[in-house]
């Protein structure tokens, strides 16, 4: 699956870690949340500024 540019890395944002474009939500943080048992719905509720597509792009990037 292509991430369509939703995952970006900038040395000035979160020490260059890959993030969802337009946010400071790192791929690493999302993986940690899923590993802790959180669902996509729970993550979206806590972080309403990200999208399902952003979460899926992060998971695809991590894979």
CB atoms within 10 A of CB 57: 23
Asked whether the predicted pLDDT for residue 61 surpasses 90, the reply is yes
Helix axes 52-62, 27-35, angle to 10 degrees: 90
- Residue range 7-62, CATH number: 1.10.10.10
Distance CA(55)–CA(24), nearest Å, equals 13
Domain boundaries defined on the chain: 7-62
pLDDT tens per residue across span 9-44: 999 999 999 999 999 999 999 999 999 999 999 999
C-alpha angle 43-46-48 in degrees, rounded to nearest 5: 90
């Amino acid at each position: 699956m292509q991430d369509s540019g939703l995952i970006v890395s900038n040395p000035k944002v979160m020490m260059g870690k890959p993030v969802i474009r337009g946010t400071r939500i790192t791929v690493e943080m999302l993986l940690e949340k899923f590993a802790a048992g959180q669902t996509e719905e729970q993550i979206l509720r806590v972080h309403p500024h990200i999208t399902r597509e952003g979460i899926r792009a992060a998971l695809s990037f991590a894979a």
